[in-house]
Amino acid sequence: RYVEDCRRILAELEEAEDRLLAAFRETITDKDTPVAARAAAEQFMPRVVECHNVMRNRKLVLKAAS
């Protein structure tokens, strides 16, 4: 049960990270995004990608362990 709960939670977190990453990409590439918003998104994008990769890797490790 614990492992199944972890899998479910990690899958939900990764989906949220996917949506966040897509929103950041859209903000950066949308020509109508204000300059300040684009700059902020570009500044935080490396951290967003890093967090996304952590969630993905944790999900893969848990999947491989089962």
Tell me, what's the pLDDT at 23?
97
pLDDT of the chain along its 66 residues, tens only? 887 888 888 888 888 989 999 999 999 999 999 999 999 999 999 999 998 898 888 888 888 877
Q: How far apart are CA 41 and CA 46, in angstroms?
A: 9
For residue 22, what pLDDT is reported?
96
In this predicted structure, what is the pLDDT of residue 29? 97
Alpha-carbon distance 41 to 32, whole Å? Answer: 14
Amino acid 1: pLDDT:
81
Alpha-carbon distance of 65 to 34, in angstroms, equals 45
Q: Which pLDDT score is estimated for 6? A: 83
**Residues 6 or more apart from 38 whose CB is under 8 A from it?**
27, 28
> In angstroms, rounded to a whole number, what is the distance separating the alpha carbons of residues 55 and 36?
28
